């Protein structure tokens, strides 16, 4: 008898729990979500800064108003470099930034933005979405209670703005340059002084001599900041950021509270904007470069081959040394470098060979 009672009671308790959780799920299914998204970019900044705005708009439209996301520029609620902590702690549900800003907290995060002489935009998209990249990124961020989603790519950047010519690697010595991530580590090893500054402080810092040089993005974004008014030489190629990927980060508890259809909507909106941002840069960089050179008289310069070669060698040393002392970095880089090797082999005879053929044809 006791046994039967126990089974009956257990069945009742189970059924109560299960109907309670179904009710909870149903409530979440229809409830309205109002989230706050903090960014590392000035409010409404073209390109980078508009990416989270577009994600918010798409999510609201696709969810028919069930999910409303308010986007805040850097400094409005949280400073540019406070985005990671704000979302990790749950004070804000979402953030938009670059993972390499968090190298002091999570060194392995740098591989998900940009690696010197690493993957281009198409290639990092493929590693993240079709290789092991995204799974590794989520594993690396999980201890920080963060769920990352790729959300934008600028394409290959420019090396940046300088007030003197770079004729040899010796010219890097003592130069104070805003250059974040692994690129900054390489710059330091070359004798330079890398400085990390948020976007909003770059122009004034360059103009007042707080820094001697800065990298930012490329012609489209650099023109909006007016760097040509503070520096004469504009150097390429952007060996340090061949295809930087931006991140949408979400507090895991907030993420887990969402019904499945809203999770799918957010992932889909971010993926659409990830490509859309790259298209925007591809479309806008050309006319911006013409304006910089033809209207503003900017001196466009290619880094000498031996300087590029020095940066390449130093990059290999810096990465090798970093992964030797950090098993998480090693795990991520093993996947990244294997993907890079495989993808390079085909790209050498496809895209690289084609671009070379097109240039020789004079088109």
State in angstroms the smallest separation of the CB of 317 from Ca ion.
Answer: 22
State in angstroms the smallest separation of the CB of 115 from Ca ion.
Answer: 13
State in angstroms the smallest separation of the CB of 66 from Ca ion.
Answer: 36
**Following DSSP, what letter does each residue of 333-363 receive, concatenated?**
HHHHHHHHHHHHHHHHHTHHHHHHHHHHTT-
User: Is the CB of 202 or the CB of 273 nearer to Ca ion?
Assistant: 202
For 183: left if phi > 0, alpha if psi spans -120 to 50, otherwise beta; the answer is alpha
- Going from the C-alpha of 327 to that of each of 54, 116, 174, 336, 338, the distances in angstroms are 37, 20, 32, 14, 16
- Residue pair 103/110 in contact (Cβ under 8 Å)? The answer is yes
User: Is the CB of 215 or the CB of 247 nearer to Ca ion?
Assistant: 215
User: Is the CB of 185 or the CB of 251 nearer to Ca ion?
Assistant: 185
User: Is the CB of 198 or the CB of 259 nearer to Ca ion?
Assistant: 198
User: Is the CB of 133 or the CB of 238 nearer to Ca ion?
Assistant: 238
State in angstroms the smallest separation of the CB of 62 from Ca ion.
Answer: 31
Can you read off the two tokens belonging to residue 87? 């979302």
Residues facing 69 on adjacent strands: 35
State in angstroms the smallest separation of the CB of 86 from Ca ion.
Answer: 22
List own/partner pairs for 138-144 with CB under 8 A and 24 or more apart: 140/106, 140/108, 140/109, 140/112, 140/328, 140/332, 141/106, 141/109, 141/249, 142/252, 144/84, 144/88, 144/105, 144/106
Q: Applying CB under 5 A, which residues contact Ca ion?
A: 157, 215, 241
State in angstroms the smallest separation of the CB of 288 from Ca ion.
Answer: 15
State in angstroms the smallest separation of the CB of 74 from Ca ion.
Answer: 15
User: Is the CB of 62 or the CB of 292 nearer to Ca ion?
Assistant: 292
User: Is the CB of 82 or the CB of 238 nearer to Ca ion?
Assistant: 238
Residue spans of alpha helices (H) in the chain: 2-30, 50-62, 83-89, 121-130, 133-141, 181-189, 202-208, 219-225, 252-256, 260-290, 305-324, 327-349, 351-360
């Amino acid at each position: 008898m006791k046994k039967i009672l126990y089974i009956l009671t257990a069945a009742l308790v189970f059924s109560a729990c299960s109907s309670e959780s179904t009710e909870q799920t149903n409530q979440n299914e229809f409830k309205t979500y109002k989230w706050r998204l903090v960014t590392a970019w000035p409010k409404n900044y073209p390109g980078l800064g508009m990416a989270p705005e577009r994600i918010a708009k798409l999510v609201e439209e696709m969810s028919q108003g069930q999910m409303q996301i308010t986007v805040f520029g850097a400094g409005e609620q949280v400073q540019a470099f406070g985005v990671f902590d704000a979302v990790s702690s749950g004070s804000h549900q979402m953030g938009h930034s670059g993972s390499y800003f968090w190298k002091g907290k999570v060194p392995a995060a740098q591989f998900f933005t940009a690696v010197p002489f690493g993957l281009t935009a198409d290639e990092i998209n493929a590693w993240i979405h079709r290789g092991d990249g995204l799974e590794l990124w989520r594993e690396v961020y999980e201890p920080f209670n963060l769920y990352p989603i790729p959300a934008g790519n600028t394409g290959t950047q420019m090396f940046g703005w300088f007030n003197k010519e770079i004729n040899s690697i010796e010219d890097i010595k003592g130069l104070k340059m805003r250059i974040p991530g692994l690129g900054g580590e390489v710059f330091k090893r070359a004798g330079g002084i890398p400085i990390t500054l948020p976007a909003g402080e770059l122009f004034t810092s360059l103009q007042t001599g707080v820094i001697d040089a800065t990298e930012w993005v490329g012609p489209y974004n650099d023109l909006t900041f007016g760097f040509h008014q503070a520096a004469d030489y504009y150097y390429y190629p952007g060996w340090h950021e061949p295809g930087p990927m931006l991140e949408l980060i979400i507090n895991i508890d907030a993420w887990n509270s969402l019904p499945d259809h809203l999770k799918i909507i957010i992932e889909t909106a971010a993926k659409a904007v990830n490509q859309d941002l790259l298209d925007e840069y591809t479309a806008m960089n050309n006319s911006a470069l013409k304006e910089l050179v033809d209207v503003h008289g900017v001196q466009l310069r290619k880094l000498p081959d031996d300087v590029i070669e020095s940066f390449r060698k130093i990059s290999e040393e810096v990465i090798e040394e970093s992964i030797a002392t950090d098993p998480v970095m090693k795990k991520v880089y093993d996947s990244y470098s294997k993907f890079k090797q495989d993808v390079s082999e085909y790209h050498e005879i496809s895209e690289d060979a084609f671009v070379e053929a097109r240039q020789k044809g004079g088109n």
